[in-house]
Structure 1
Amino acid sequence: MLTLGISGHFNLLPALFRTYMHDAAACLVADGELVAAVEEERFNRIKKTNRFPAGAIRACLDIAGVRPADVDAIGYYFDQDLVDLGLRNFQLATPAQPVVFGCELLLERLRAEFGWEVDAERVLFTRHHLAHAWSSFARSGMADALVVVMDGRGETVSTTVHLAGGGEMRELRSYSVAQSLGLFYQDAIGHVGYGFGDEYKVMGLAPYGDPAAYREQFQSLYRLLPDGDYELIPGIPDMNPTSEPFYTNGFPARRAGEPVTAEHRDFAAGLQDTLETLAMHVITHWARQTGARRLCFTGGVAHNSSLNGVILRSGLFDEVFVHPSSHDAGAAEGAAVVAAARLGTPHTRVARLTSASLGPDLGDVERELGVWSGVVDVERSVDVVEATARLLAEGKVVGWAHGRSEFGPRALGNRSIIADARPVGNRDRINAMVKKRESFRPFAPAVTPEAAATYFDLTDTVAEHGFMSFVVHVRESRRAELGAVTHVDGTARVQVVTPEANPRFHRLITRFGELTGTPVLLNTSFNNNAEPIVQSVHDAVTCYLTTDIDVLVVEDFLVRRRVPVVRVLDDLVPALRPDTRLRRDWRPGDEVRGEVYLDYSSGPSEMPSPEVFALLSAVDGESTLGALAGDLTDEMRAELYSLWQRRFFTLTPKA
């Protein structure tokens, strides 16, 4: 049976609030095997997008070589009543909107995007946490397990505990939205200048602080109860529940972009400690109550790899599995599994998922790179792994694009920025020159299985370490050697790369180890701070040209800049993105100014100079920047380059 699972919304509004139905994705499951999976953000270039996943659906069908008519059923990652209730809520708030509900909207989107006429009986909605649970257990390779789903919210729950086995998923206990650990963490990070989607940043900041500094304030926000229960103390209605104790304490709240102080570091440490305390209170009780020795942990909270490390070290389980796409994109896969079961094909045990390389490949690389031949030098390498290993050993930072893209928020060796893991300066260099992000943010080490235990304490608990899901301790004798990837507390979010999961990346790490004596590479996602991970050759070249990455490697090709990019901007053709908007901003007493912005929830905006705004207003998708401007000044080039870095528009060479 072939089932398609999807997450995301229905494109009712361009700026539908970003926390609603986020992480749009599509997954294709054939007779229990996950054959294709990709997030919509890779195509529309909007992080954590909630747009309908048309691009992702198209990619999954292409990968599998099937037509829409070949799909037996479609699973959606939320319960139909909740979807319809949300739409009714939306309609009440905006009476001009037509009254239309979930199934009808889904069928309408499929018809509009693909000309696909689907029988409504073949569209099956699934309870959100059941979708999460099956996505994890179906890929775990386990015969039975305790399955814990922990996220912001499902329909009316925030954590659900299941016992899986014998083809069944039996719910043991659910926790209310008022007890949501995902929302608690999301609410709290506003105190240190972060918001939705930034939780991992605060997790990275936590080891720099002292969790005891604000323990009293955090403990005032919850109460542990018997039998794995707990209470989050409700705040004043319609106010952030974490506000009061820190307001009363006089905590110096940080705003985005402001310096991080000792107080902010201590806050992050206290928040992480609180999450771990509450989550382990739940997991420990149910492990002991059921006697289960295997755990599948999933939901958005399961991407907190520091918490996952605590689970490993707890000794509660012999085996732990965390899906590489535990956030809502992965629930699309679970919806497909549940849909198949409802139509008479229940899931049977399959081998454990060891590779997340489930998205599209790079296509005709030589042709795509040839488009940029006037801007970059392209060299086909006889042995690209050998050449890249030597570049890395020389200290180069490399953009590495190969094979199928990975499913989930982490680059695992197919869409990666890689560097020598030894010099501590590489961490600061990449944070500054590529990511444009805070210096405290750690990078992950990628290591061969042959060397993993030499450098890292993976504990005695069996786990799939190929997905960067667990923070473990770097062996004390190796911490100085791995300066770029050892965090301040002596830990690292390790990735163990096997030859079976990723032969080319494994061979690269191995060869680097032969050249340097250290078979470990720094691995981070191939993107800058303004965009999702790259998907295509165009994305990879754009990211390379708008960062200070030294060399780009795409399949068997080495790519290098010919000259500084700002010197060739005149010959590139700009095109406005589908979400780019231009408008004139007039205020009484002020001059008229132009604004460029991206039309989605929390999309960036900028007030360019009048000259650049006029140029953008004339963009036709065919004329070069030089032709549009007549005479580009150095100031205009610098401004246009900055706007390109922030992805307000695209640039390509003239055909």
Structure 2
Amino acid sequence: MRILGVNGWPGASHDGSACLLVDGKVVAFAEEERFTRHKHGYGEAPLHAAAFCLQEGGFALEDIDVVAHGWDMPSLLTRRGLDWFPDSARALDFLFPREYFPRGRDPELVFVPHHTAHAASAYYFSGRDQGAVLVLDGQGECESATLASAVGGELKVLEAVPPGWSLGYFYAAVCQYAGLGADAAGKTMGLAPYGTSGDLTFGGGLSFLDDGYAVGPVPRTLLSTGSTDEETDTLRLWLAHLEKTSALPPNRTSRHYDRGSGRYVRRTDRDPYEYRDLAATAQEAVERSVVAMARRLLRETGQDTLLVAGGVGFNATLNGKLARLPEVRDLFVQPLAGDQGVSLGAAGWVAAQHGEHITPMTGTLAWGEQWDADAVRRVLHKQGVRHTEHEDIADTVAGLLGRGQIVGWHQGRGEGGPRALGHRSIVTAPFPVAKRDRINLTVKDREWWRPFAPSMQLEEAPALLGDGTPLPYMIVTTPVPDAGRAAMPAVIHVDGTTRPQTVTAEDDPLYHRLLGRVAEHTGHAVVLNTSFNGRDEPVVWTPADALATFARSPLDALALGPFLIRRTD
């Protein structure tokens, strides 16, 4: 069966994506932002992403059996008094205009409820037969958290929390209040360990229960008519409450054009670092709430396997707390936890409904576009870029890393998700600790307190992490023993944790080889790995993207396929 999963709707979405599933196996996956170069792709339908997936599979849209959308758009709009199409054919034409997707026949169009798609992405692709499923995000059609059981290939919803009580929106309000932006949850998570938590109830805004939490400032039954979600109203109520209860006023922001960089930059009245205690308090409050829900869910389902998805699932610190709960024997967090992952989940849900076996994820998200050496060579020649070609690019780059250099690494198929996992990465040796400041301030042009993560051969994990459990997706934090802190100080956060990626030769032979060659120079098969992108940019996708970002940043070198471009050249 050929299923095209999609997320994104013209003018009313974010993180648009497409996934091609053929007979239960992922053939291609891509995010719209990688093509348009607009981070998160706000309001963009997944036109480029879908076209790529179809091309990768060798299909036209008319060859697809089902288009599975990761939102129940008819229900979402009509419930709020908004217009919907009279039939699915017109809806499909709106999503995929015929001038871009000519077709002799229409595939079936299926709208999968948003949290069902998230849950399906966590269950069907995890390789687990059963488990307890926890979905947490801003919101779906009419829920912000879903607790479900997964047994025998079936998902059963046990409880849903309405949007007004969204932990995702609560955290977004804190992010905005601190001047970081409502979509900057990762920044707030990174800032939190520098602070000291205070009143976890936020002056009565939150109440903690044995099996969850309750919210004071926002009505549980909040419904925003005339809008596609409850985000605006929920954030407004939380921001007003924070202003009444916080020690600091809201950190007002403005946008200014910076002539030096040629882009608009965010400026704040105060340094967001001043809000570190607020960040710490919000982080602990979310952890306490989610841990209570998870424990209740595991108890009621009788499970010890926990499967997590939804945008809150990107909170690696929270995931680390969940992983270390005594009730959790096995934790799988969908690495495409955000809305980009519901294209995968929607396709998986439809496949499961038709009785198809779904191939589980094995440690890679490299389902994107790839350029062979000849294609890269043509790009280099067209742009007049001086370069050298190397038979063993991993060995060559390892030598540069051994000398302390910072290298862009663009290899193989593009990856999905916000984490670079060895295909579109910036890599360097994870020491000295000052390397962290250099990359934050000069290479990535971001806040000095943002942490970095390591990639290591799985074989190194027992020595560096004190545990050999595979962690292939850089989405769970773990405490680091003294040996690891000494070997990789630039990737240890202020709280003594790190967010590792373990790499096997089976999942990624070239990256595994690079790490092994690095060990010959540094003593350990580990590097600092951060996503290959500039400030406010999506991760690079094409060789041209990589060259453009390299030209704007002070990287020492760029490994583009078998070719090396040196800054000194």
Q: TM-score, normalised by structure 1?
A: 0.78
Report the 3-state secondary structure (helix = DSSP H, G, I; strand = E; otherwise coil) of the residue aligned with 1:400: strand
Counterpart of 1:115? 102
Offset from partner CA, 1:77-133 (integer Å, 9 cap, x none): 1113334338954x6xxxxxx98887624323421311135437x000011111111
Counterpart of 1:418? 427
Partners of 2:48 and 2:113 lie apart in 1 by 24
Shift of residue 562, structure 1, vs aligned partner? 6.0
Which of the residues 543, 546, 558 maps onto 2:552?
546
Counterpart of 1:26? 18
Structure 2 residue 5 is matched with structure 1 residue 5: yes
| Paired residues of 2:69 and 2:110 also in contact (CA < 8 A) | yes
Structure 2 residue 48 is matched with structure 1 residue 62: no
2:21 aligned partner, one-letter code: V
Offset from partner CA, 1:493-552 (integer Å, 9 cap, x none): 111011111111111011101211122100000000031000001000000001111101
Counterpart of 1:156? 142
Report the 3-state secondary structure (helix = DSSP H, G, I; strand = E; otherwise coil) of the residue aligned with 1:523: strand
Report the 3-state secondary structure (helix = DSSP H, G, I; strand = E; otherwise coil) of the residue aligned with 2:217: coil
Which of the residues 110, 131, 134 maps onto 2:117?
131
Structure 2 residue 357 is matched with structure 1 residue 371: no
Offset from partner CA, 1:456-486 (integer Å, 9 cap, x none): 1448xx6x51110101111123313312101
1:533 to 1:352, Cα distance in 2 relative to 1, 3 A: closer
Counterpart of 2:345? 334
Shift of residue 381, structure 1, vs aligned partner? 0.9
Offset from partner CA, 1:424-453 (integer Å, 9 cap, x none): 121111111221100000111011111112
Greater shift, 553-562 or 257-266, is seen at 257-266
1:426 aligned partner, one-letter code: K
Which of the residues 408, 431, 449 maps onto 2:458?
449
1:261 to 1:163, Cα distance in 2 relative to 1, 3 A: closer
Shift of residue 36, structure 1, vs aligned partner? 1.0
Counterpart of 2:442? 433
Counterpart of 1:515? 521
Shift of residue 162, structure 1, vs aligned partner? 1.2
Number of aligned positions between the proteins: 537
| Paired residues of 2:174 and 2:278 also in contact (CA < 8 A) | no
Partners of 1:479 and 1:125 lie apart in 2 by 48
Q: Identity over the aligned pairs, expressed in percent?
A: 36
Partners of 1:545 and 1:47 lie apart in 2 by 20
Shift of residue 230, structure 1, vs aligned partner? 2.4
Partners of 1:23 and 1:285 lie apart in 2 by 31
1:139 aligned partner, one-letter code: F
| Paired residues of 2:298 and 2:327 also in contact (CA < 8 A) | yes
Partners of 1:328 and 1:178 lie apart in 2 by 19
Which of the residues 179, 191, 194 maps onto 2:165?
179
Partners of 1:129 and 1:235 lie apart in 2 by 21
Which of the residues 265, 268, 271 maps onto 2:276?
265
Shift of residue 219, structure 1, vs aligned partner? 5.7
Structure 2 residue 531 is matched with structure 1 residue 525: yes
Shift of residue 274, structure 1, vs aligned partner? 0.6
Partners of 1:407 and 1:223 lie apart in 2 by 37
Report the 3-state secondary structure (helix = DSSP H, G, I; strand = E; otherwise coil) of the residue aligned with 2:39: coil
Partners of 1:117 and 1:84 lie apart in 2 by 29
Report the 3-state secondary structure (helix = DSSP H, G, I; strand = E; otherwise coil) of the residue aligned with 2:149: strand
Q: Which runs of 5+ in 1 are unaligned?
A: 11-15, 92-97, 564-655
Counterpart of 2:257? none
Q: Within 5 Å, which residues of 2 pair with 1:598-637?
A: none
1:283 aligned partner, one-letter code: A
Report the 3-state secondary structure (helix = DSSP H, G, I; strand = E; otherwise coil) of the residue aligned with 1:190: helix
Which of the residues 484, 491, 494 maps onto 2:497?
491
Shift of residue 66, structure 1, vs aligned partner? 2.5
Shift of residue 172, structure 1, vs aligned partner? 1.1
Counterpart of 1:595? none
1:101 to 1:547, Cα distance in 2 relative to 1, 3 A: farther
Report the 3-state secondary structure (helix = DSSP H, G, I; strand = E; otherwise coil) of the residue aligned with 2:472: helix
| Paired residues of 1:27 and 1:336 also in contact (CA < 8 A) | yes
Shift of residue 28, structure 1, vs aligned partner? 0.7
Counterpart of 2:418? 409
| Paired residues of 2:414 and 2:423 also in contact (CA < 8 A) | yes
1:513 aligned partner, one-letter code: A
Shift of residue 71, structure 1, vs aligned partner? 1.1
Counterpart of 1:386? 395
1:245 to 1:88, Cα distance in 2 relative to 1, 3 A: closer
Partners of 1:178 and 1:473 lie apart in 2 by 34
Partners of 2:14 and 2:86 lie apart in 1 by 20
1:483 to 1:154, Cα distance in 2 relative to 1, 3 A: same
Computing the radius of gyration from Cα coordinates, the structure with the larger value is 1
2:44 aligned partner, one-letter code: R
| Paired residues of 2:463 and 2:483 also in contact (CA < 8 A) | no
Shift of residue 389, structure 1, vs aligned partner? 0.1
Offset from partner CA, 1:319-338 (integer Å, 9 cap, x none): 11111211111111111122
Q: Which runs of 5+ in 2 are unaligned?
A: 223-232, 254-266
Partners of 1:216 and 1:317 lie apart in 2 by 25
Partners of 1:102 and 1:221 lie apart in 2 by 43
1:380 aligned partner, one-letter code: E
Report the 3-state secondary structure (helix = DSSP H, G, I; strand = E; otherwise coil) of the residue aligned with 1:163: strand
Q: TM-score, normalised by structure 2?
A: 0.90
Partners of 2:535 and 2:86 lie apart in 1 by 37
Report the 3-state secondary structure (helix = DSSP H, G, I; strand = E; otherwise coil) of the residue aligned with 1:338: helix
Partners of 1:31 and 1:366 lie apart in 2 by 35
Counterpart of 1:45? 37
